[in-house]
Every structure is written in C-alpha cells, then in structure tokens.
Structure 1
Amino acid sequence: MKQQNLKTWFKSGSPWVWFTGGGVSIAVIMTIGLLTLIAVRGLGHFWPADVLEGDYRIPGQPAQVLAGELVEAEEVPRAQLAASGLPVSVSGGEFMTRELLKVGNRELYGADFSWVVGEWLDNLRKPANLVALERREWGNFYGYLLGVKESGQLVAEGEAAWAELQPRIERVAELHEQLARLEKKDIGRINHALERLRLKERGLELDGELDAAAQADLAAERAQWDAEYQQLETQLVSLRQAFNRDGILVRTVDGREEEISLGKVVRAYRPNAMGTFDKFGFYFAKLWEFVSDEPREANTEGGIFPAIFGTVMMTLIMALLVTPFGVLAAIYLREYAKQGPLTRMIRIAVNNLAGVPAIVYGVFGLGFFVYVLGGSIDRLFFAEALPAPTFGTPGLLWASLTLAILAVPVVIVATEEGLARIPRALREGSLALGATKAETLWKVVLPMASPAMMTGMILAVARAAGEVAPLMLVGVVKLAPSLPLDGNYPYLHLDQKIMHLGFHIYDVGFQSPNVEAARPLVYATALLLVLVIALLNLSAVFIRNHLREKYKALDH
C-alpha cells in the first residue's frame, strides 16, 4: 500500500516540484548570503573604529606602547607561534590569540598593519584625545596632537590646538579643490589647445601649406595661450604656498615627535571621543567619498569614481554598438535568409561564439581593432600625430567594441526568438492591407519583438559589464589620469584609456603592495559593481516591461 502511494506520489510530479523549488531556494539563499558577506565586509570598512592603546610585553624584551585599530583576531596553535621565532613558552594552553592591529604611521614603522600576541598586550585603554589623521600619502597616522603651526610659527597648543585644527583642515580641503580644478580644468584646457595647435602645425607641414602667413597665425595663437598659461601659473604658485602654509606637531604613542604639513591631511578625528551620531556622520562622509572621489595610495584609499564612470560609459557605448548589429543580423537570419544548410551553420556558429572564452575576444580586439583598424585610422586621419598613436593604442572605443563582439551572439539569439514568436497571421494581415514586407517588418514585427530585443540587451549588459580579462588588453588601466568626458573638443575622447570596476577589484585584490589595507576595498568595490550592473539591468527591464505592456493588445 505504501509502495503504491509512493508510486502515485512520484507520478503526480510533486517530488520534482519540491526538488526544483528546493534548488531555487538554495540558489536564492546562496546569492543573498554572498551579497550579505560582501556588504558587511565592504561597508564595515568605513565605520570609524576605536583606536586601542596598550603595553606590549614580549618576554625577555622591554615593554613598548602600541596603538591601533583591531582588525581581526584568531586562535593559533602555540607551536606555530614558537616556530615563527617568537619567545613562546611551551607551558599553557594549546592555543594563543593572535591579533591584527592597524598601527598606521607607515613612515615610522614600515607597515600599516602588525600582528601581535593578544596575551602579551595588556593595560588596554581608549584615550579620548588620541588623534587619527587620514593622509593623502603614507596612510593613517595615530598619535597625540601637540600644536598647530602657521608659516612655521606655533599658534596653538594642547586642547586649543584641536579647536584650531578643524577649520584649517576645511581651508586646506577648499584649496585642494581649487588646485585640482586649476590643474585639471583650466591648465588642462590650455595644454589641450597647445597640443591641437602643434598637431595643426605638423599637419600643415605635411601638406606643404606651412607658409609664413600660417606660421604667423599659429605663433599669434600660441602666444595668447602662453600668456593665459602664465597667469594661471601665477595663481597656481600662490595657491600652493597657501596650501602648504599650515602644519601640526604630533607625538606617537611611543614618544616620537613629528611635524606634518596640513596639505597632506585629508581629515583628523578622535575616534575614541566620537558619539554614535558623530560616527554615523563620519561613516556617510567616507561612503560618499568612496563613490565620488579619485583613488589614492595605490588605489587603497580615497574613492573609485573614475572606475564607476568608466564602467558605465563603456557599457553604454557597448550597448549602443551591439544592439543595431545584433538586431540586423537576427532580422536577416529570420526574415530574409533562405532557410537551408548555410543558415543553419551560421546559427550554430553564432551559438558557439557565445561560449568562446572572453580572453580570446581580448586578443582579437588587440590584434584587429587596435593594431589593424586603429593603426589604419592613424595613418589616414592622424598622420600629423605619428609616430605617437591616437587610435592605434588601447582605449575606450576598442574596449567597447570588443565587448560588443563578445555580447552580439546573445542579442542575435534573443532577437531571433522574439521574431519567431510573432504570429504569422499578423504578418499576413499587414501584407493583405497593402503594406510591403519592409513596412510590415518595421511597423508591426519589430515593435512587437522589441521586448525580446531588450531581453537580449539585458543579457549582453550582464555578460559584458563584469568582464575583466579582455579589457586588460584593449583599454582598461590601473589608474587613468583623467576622465574620457570633459570640456575639451571633441568632449568624448574615445581614444583615452579608462578605469573599470572589475579590473579595479583585480588590481586591488591581487596587485596591491598593501594587502591588508586593500582587502576591505575589494569587498566594497565588488558590491558596487553588482549594484551598477543591477541598476543598468533594471533600467533595461523597465523599458522592456513598458514595451511589453504597450504591444500586449496586438499579441491576442
């Protein structure tokens, strides 16, 4: 009886419903768990942790004072510590605690992080007046503020120095923004104009048209730019002097005194004296800096805005390139090509292209787009710039085209499936009313197949936006000095190299000289990459759903 009930239960299909439902549940749980892990480890990096100070007593050595943020702690076998050369006693428990402290002061200690034995660290305390300085170079500095200097003269000491410090840091931040704007925007505009003038002169020389009148015109224009540059240079020198005017005297926890220019300090705070609301304000300021600022300290500090911009820009250009080619190819294969062995072979080839490793597309893009196509463009249109390449070098355009070639099979397959689902009666009805085949295709078939086209574009964006391997060959770099979009003609510089979130994760995670400092940024950047791709996909999904609702009535 039980066997009969079991057979009936299997025949009803219920076990397969449970199996598939369980598989979906496991996949959802794993995805949520992964995103939660990335979010916790990445976003927790920006929280201002308390800075501990304690006496570190290594057996047989004088006690030393240490200060730093506790990053992690782990239990390790006593024998392992003894094997590493530490004077560990064989008596006691089997395990000892090893703690990783972010001690900062890299120019003094040689490293930002240090492993210590927890049992040797005692008399732990959290001094309220312990200052953490976030610097533009050399990482964080932990110590005590002794005084504030202006033009080499001491203007405040003790507790008064802390009240004097904050407005001066705000002043330095404003001057830093003015310097960046002057160097990148104003002086960058002049340098761009002078380079265009040089290329124009070289082009006239190659064409044999560089006569005395042309030289005089070029010299006059160059003189105008040089005069403007001299004015900006005077402003630049004045700003730099004001930027480096102030300094501070600090003392480390082990008694060493240092003088630090405020031009090197991004912010100063006392984490042990901060309340909950102060820490939340600090947290969101750091989070905003992460998504809006430029990287520094070998990409382990600052923000990643250039990588966000490069990822979005490249993906949008890729989508604009891949959609027309993929749709036109699908239309030809479904609507015009004779359905025979050749067409079937083309479809098989398209499906196989979707499984080609991404690095192969990168090699193809480097060989064909960069060297062949880009080199030909340089010889035809940018001869005055040779031997320096313009398009004959990796850049934004070639990275986008390489990703478009990588994603075009996905768009072709999705669009073909959408065209195949359009009822034949609609085509025949349109033709019966006197429309041509082209008019039927353009006004009836393609609008109804547009949701499928958007589905193909969504899949293409999801496939291409996270690729890293091909981009390393065709245009993505560790650090790009400027964005490919600015106020200089032609405004969008397709020949420039860019940063990318995926490559940024690879670089910070595997190429960084400061592994411990880079680790939380790997998680934060990975979370941001997921969010950027999700936002791009959701935008496409919204458009697809709108089109689906618009043409739903025609489908019945």
Structure 2
Amino acid sequence: MRYSVSEWTKSGSPWVWLNAGAVAICVIMVVGLLGLIAMRGLAHFWPADVMQATYTQGDQSRRIMGELVQQEMVPAEQLRGAGIQVPDGVEEMRRDLLKVGNRDFSSADFVWAMDQGISDKTLPEMIMVAERLEWGNFYGYLREVRESGETVARHDGHAKSPEYLAVWDEFQRRIDRVLEIRDQILTIEKHEIGSINYELERLRLEERSLELEQSTDAEAYAEIEARRAELNADYEVLQQDLIDLYTKINRDSFTAEIADGREVEIDIAKVVRAFLPNKMGTGEKMAHYGVKLWEFLSDEPREANTEGGIFPAIFGTVMMVILMSVLVTPFGVIAAVYLREYATQGFITRLIRIAVNNLAGVPSIVYGVFGLGFFVYFLGGSIDDLFFPEAKPAPTFGTGGLMWASITLALLTVPVVIVATEEGLARIPRSVREGSLALGATKFETLMKVVLPMASPAMMTGVILAIARAAGEVAPLMLVGVVKLAPSLPLDGNYPFLHLDQKFMHLGFHIYDVGFQSPNVEAARPLVYATAFLLVVVIALLNFSAIAIRNHLREKYKALEM
C-alpha cells in the first residue's frame, strides 16, 4: 500500500526520524568529545620512546634527544616570514614538537624542529628518562653514581653492556633508598610534626583566651606551659630525626651526559623515578603506565601543578559536593513542600515560584560575590567575633573555606531541587492524600508517610541535577574558598577532624590554574585534558550513585502509585 508524501508527513514519521537523528548526533558528539579528551589526557602517562637525532638549522648542526609530542603542517608563507628557508614549489612543511627536557641546563624543555632538518634518527636503548621533583624530566646517558662526592660506579659508553647495566642497577638501588627516606621525611613533616604544630596552635589560642578573659588561674597557665614544653621536647626529637634523614638523602648523586655532550651532576634526592623507555617492552610500558596513572590519582601535585597527582583536588571536589548535597536537600524539600502542600495558591505563591525559577538562571559568579560578602565577611566575621576572638586578627571563618563554598553552591542549586520536588509532589494523585486522611491520618502523617516517600524519586532527580551543576562550578569557588595548592586535606586525624574553615582544592579550578596560569604551557596541556576527563568521571560517578538511590526508591514505592 502506497502513501503519499503528505500522508507520510501527517503520520509523524519524519519527526520521529528527525528526533532520532538529532539524538544520535548528540550522542556521537558527546562520546567523541569524551574520547578526544581521554585520548589526549591519558596518553600522557605512556612512556614514549626517546629519539636521538642530528638537527641542522642553517649552517649549524647539533645533537638533540627527546620525545615526539606533536606534528603539524605549516604554510610556506608563514615559515618564510619567520626567516626559515623553504624550497621553491613547496606550499607547506612539517614541523615537530619535541620534549627535550633538561630545563635547568637549556632554555626550554619543548622545542619546535623542522622535520626536513632532522637526520640520523635513532632510538638508543640506553637513553635515560629521569622524572624529578622540580625542573621537569631529564634526558641523557647515565655516566656514574656518586656517594658523598666519591665515584661508586661509572661507564662511558652509549651502548648496552654488562658494565652499563651494573651502573644502572646501582643507580636504581640508590633511587629506591632515596624514596624510602623521602617517605619517612613526609611522615614526620606532614603527620607527626604537623600534629605537634596543630596542638601548639591550640595551646596558644587557649592561652590567648585566658588572657582576654583576664583570668588569674595560675594552674591553667601552668598546665598549658607543661603541655607546651612536652610538645617542644617531642618536636626537638623529630627535628633531629629530620636532620639525620636529610643528611642521608643528600648523600648520593649521579652524573649524566646530555644532548650537547656535557656531563652534569644531579642529586638523586631530586629524582622520583628513572627508566629506559627505548629498552622497555610492551608489558613493562603497561606496568609503568599503571604506576603513573595511579600516581596521578593518589599523589599530591608538584612543579606548579604540572607534575605529580591531583588527589587533593579530587578529595576537595567530592567533599564539597557531599556537604552541598547535605545542605541543599532539606532546605529545597522543605521549601517545595510548603509551596505545594501548605501555602495558599495565590498571587504571592506564584510570585515566589517565578522568583525561584529566575534564581535558577542567575550567573554563578553573582552567587560567588554574594557568598563572599554575606557568608564570608558578614557571617564569618560575626562568628569570629563571637566564638574565636583569641585567634584574631587572623580570621577563622571570616575567610573563604569549605563550609562557605558548600553553602554558596547549595544556595546556587536550591532552585533546582525546589522545582524538581514540586513537580514530584504535583504528580501524586489527590486520591492518595484523601485516602490517607479518610483512614484517620493527620495531614502531617500523610505528608511524612505517604506523600514524601512517593515523591522521593523526584527529590533525588533534583539532587542529581544539583550535583551535576555544582561539581563543575568554578567562578563562585574562586571567591569563597578554593586555592591553587592546599597544604593539607580538610579531613584529617586532628580534632575536630573535619575542618570546615579550611581552604581546599577543586578539580575545576585545577583545570583553570594548570591551563591558564601555568608557567610551562606545553607541559601542562596533557594534564588539562586528563584532569578534565577525570572531572567528568567524578561527576558521572556521583550522578550514578544518586541515580541508583533514586531507582531503588522508585521501585520501593511503585506499589503506592498504582
């Protein structure tokens, strides 16, 4: 049976296919974008081969070694404008971006090189890559290992040999020793001495409080002094342990030959790890990739946030979203219940709903300015005056922190929860309420035992939307508590354990800082992609957790809707 075009159009089939095509295009675009971000970011942790070659530029030739990072075609006109000779008839030429490292021994650790000027390309097995605490990667040939300035092992060749491998094994043993000592230093500095400093600060504030109260309790002062003397004695012991450890860790060094032929000496204490990428097999590279990826997820940042990990930013993001959810859910639900169940449905109620809907569209930076002025300066300053006068003039809550950031984002997302909850309450049949009231339940009992449980999936929908928006916000957080680098996590073993007044790191701000404030743009670019992908993953995990709770509630109360 044949249909005319007009009949086919009236049947609605074109619009179904149009909608399906639009959805498919959107899905492809989202998946493609995530794939691009993941590929650009996660590829950064793969141990790439290190090339050695001769680079000729004009009449000068020099040896270079480094990783091939990027290739691009450049128009001939642009090259001629930069003073580069281009053969006649050539419209464009390829140039390579090489990561040559050794920033402390050369002008830059990334260089552009014209592809036709690179010759004698090789991948020597004995080229070493050393990741360092500062100055980025080091590339070169290991020459000798020293202990207190004395040579322990040395080899002068470039090729693989038993002598070179012996020097390399000794080098690796020294690195393992340094890493073990560094862990001991970190434990003492961040945990043991950190706890002592925290207790000393609490004693100082307690003593200052007694002074403000003009207390003459000699026993209280004596107890503070006794405790302070005990802590100072413990501190002196730990300080001596640190001196001994730093003496041990600074004992070893190594020398290596870099691309220009010079031999340079570097302290092993500055090395995180060293490896021979051209000698590694696929299995070794995969193991190395896993270690690097785990370091990215679990370690702290270093080198102006362009190296190391981002665990503090992950922790701060998740902690802030959890606190925001805890704050926004009750207030949003209570407001929605009042508007739908108790408020008189008149002009004032309609005006309030319009205001709530308009608040959902206010730019987030406006909430940040409000949070800074009202929460931080007004409420925080008042809290400091009332409860923390001994800490002044240093602010406690009168400055940005985790609590004010969470409250600001809760204020930003509360309209979303209100609207979603109201819609859920409106979908509950009136007969359900009347049936409950007819059985003798009060209005409050009906609300708590019937209406709210049935509306709980809609509440969770509001929370999901709130999480999705709040987790990616950056602008308001820059005003109310987020920082480039936090010295410690807001959750630790010191009373009261969760420090709501403390500043924190956030994945969104970390992306902004690394991408736009980094002194080394080329080194930071892969981390921008990796952090952006991780932020999407974190938001997705938070949303999936909320969706799972919503689906459970929906199944649980499905019988009440029938």
Per the TM alignment, residue 422 of structure 1 is displaced from its structure 2 partner at its CA by: 1.2
Distance 1:287 1:330 in 2: 44
Separation of aligned partners in 2, 1:236 and 1:230: 10
Is 1:240 matched up with 2:238?
A: no
2:348 pairs, out of 342, 348, 365, with 342
1:109 maps to amino acid? S
Task: Give yes or no for contact 1:201–1:210 (8 Å, CA) kept in 2.
Answer: no
Q: Distance in 2 between matches of 1:533 and 1:77?
A: 42
- What is the CA–CA distance in structure 1 between the aligned matches of 2:253 and 2:323, rounded to whole Å? 46
Give the structure 1 partner of residue 119 of structure 2: 122
Structure 2 CA distance for partners of 1:210 and 1:480, relative to 1, 3 Å = farther
**Partner SS, residue 259 of structure 1:** strand
Q: Does the residue aligned with 1:175 lie in a helix, a strand or coil?
A: helix
In structure 1, distance between residues paired with 2:168 and 2:399: 51
Give how far 1:90 is off.
4.7
Matches within 5 A, 1:12-91: 12-61=11-60, 63-86=61-84, 88-91=85-88
How does 1:23-422 map onto structure 2 within 5 Å?
23-61=22-60, 63-86=61-84, 88-91=85-88, 93-158=90-155, 159=164, 160-422=166-428
Secondary structure of the residue aligned to 1:68 is strand
Q: Is the 8 A contact 2:420 2:459 kept in 1?
A: yes
Per-residue CA deviation, residues 321-380 of structure 1 (Å, 9 max, x unaligned), is 000000000010011101100000000000000000010000000000000010000000
Partner of 2:435: 429
Question: C-alpha distance in 1, partners of 2:103/2:216?
Answer: 56
What is the identity, as a one-letter code, of the residue corresponding to 1:39?
A
Q: State the one-letter code of the partner of 2:70.
A: E
Q: Secondary structure of 1:487's match?
A: coil
CA contact (8 A) 1:295 1:304 kept: yes
1:75 partner letter: M
2:457 aligned to which of 425, 432, 451: 451
Unaligned runs of 5+ in 1: none
C-alpha distance in structure 2 between counterparts of 1:154 and 1:6, whole Å: 89
Q: Single out whichever of 238-247 and 13-22 deviates more from structure 2.
A: 238-247
Q: Quote the offset at 1:92 in angstroms.
A: 5.2
Q: Pick the aligned partner of 1:540 from 528, 540, 546.
A: 546
Distance (Å, rounded) in 1 between the aligned partners of 2:72 and 2:439: 78
Paired residues of 2:79 and 2:86 also in contact (CA < 8 A): no
C-alpha separation in 2, matches of 1:328 and 1:242: 61
Counterpart CA distance in 2 for 1:81 and 1:230 is 63
Give me the whole-angstrom Cα distance separating, in 1, the residues matched to 2:486 and 2:81.
Answer: 45
Q: Which moved more, 1:336-345 or 1:414-423?
A: 414-423
Counterpart CA distance in 1 for 2:464 and 2:369 is: 25
- How much does 1:215 deviate? 2.1
Please give the alpha-carbon distance, in whole angstroms, between the structure 2 residues aligned to 1:74 and 1:404.
46
* 2:487 aligned partner: 481
Rounded to whole Å, the distance in 1 between the matches of 2:500 and 2:312 is: 15
TM-score (norm 2): 0.97
- Structure 2 Cα separation of the partners of residues 213 and 458 of structure 1: 55
What is the distance in 2 between the residues matched to 1:401 and 1:409? 14
Q: Distance in 2 between matches of 1:94 and 1:31?
A: 35
Distance 1:364 1:390 in 2: 19
Runs of 4+ in 1 over 4 A off after TM superposition: none
Secondary structure of 2:500's counterpart equals coil
Q: Secondary structure at the match of 2:496?
A: coil
- Deviations, residues 385-407 of structure 1 (Å, cap 9, x unaligned): 01100000001001100100000
SS of 1:512's equivalent? coil
SS of residue paired to 2:139: strand
Helix, strand or coil for the counterpart of 2:371?
Answer: helix
What secondary structure is seen at the aligned counterpart in 2 of 1:76?
Answer: strand
Contact 1:77 1:94 survives alignment (8 Å): yes
Structure 2 SS opposite 1:268: strand
| Aligned 8 A contact 2:255 2:263 in 1 | yes
Pair 1:526 & 2:524 matched = no
Q: Partner letter of residue 142 of structure 1?
A: Y
Counterparts of 1:456 and 1:79 in 2: how far apart (Å)?
56
**CA distance in structure 1 between the partners assigned to 2:284 and 2:254 by the alignment:** 23
Give 3-state SS (helix, strand or coil) of 1:529's partner.
Answer: helix
- For the residues of structure 1 that align with 2:10 and 2:527, how far apart are their CA atoms? 52
Q: CA deviation at 1:210?
A: 4.4
Is structure 2 residue 461 aligned with structure 1 residue 467?
no
Tell me, in whole angstroms, the C-alpha distance in 1 between the residues paired with 2:29 and 2:180. Answer: 45
Indicate the residue corresponding to 1:503 in structure 2: 509
- Give the drift of 1:213: 2.6
Give secondary structure in 2 for the equivalent of 1:109: coil
Give the whole-Å Cα distance in 2 for the aligned partners of 1:239 and 1:60: 51
Q: CA-to-partner distance for each residue in 1:463-519, whole Å, 9 max, x for gaps?
A: 110011111100111111110011111111111111100011111111111000011
Q: Is the 8 A contact 2:76 2:91 kept in 1?
A: yes
Q: Which moved more, 1:398-407 or 1:150-159?
A: 150-159
Secondary structure, in 3 states, of the residue corresponding to 2:473? coil
The residue type paired with residue 487 of structure 2 is P
Distance 2:540 2:362 in 1: 24
Aligned to 1:98, the other structure's residue is in SS state strand
Describe the superposition over 1:302-329 as per-residue Cα deviations: whole angstroms up to 9, x where unpaired.
0000000000000000000000000000
1:162 & 1:272 partners in 2: Cα distance? 15
Instruction: Give the partner amino acid of 2:130.
Output: L
Distance 1:290 1:210 in 2: 54
Which SS does the other structure have where 2:105 is aligned?
A: helix
What is the deviation of 1:89? 4.3
Q: Indicate the residue corresponding to 2:159 in structure 1.
A: none
Asked if structure 1 preserves the Cα contact closer than 8 Å seen for 2:401 and 2:480, the reply is yes
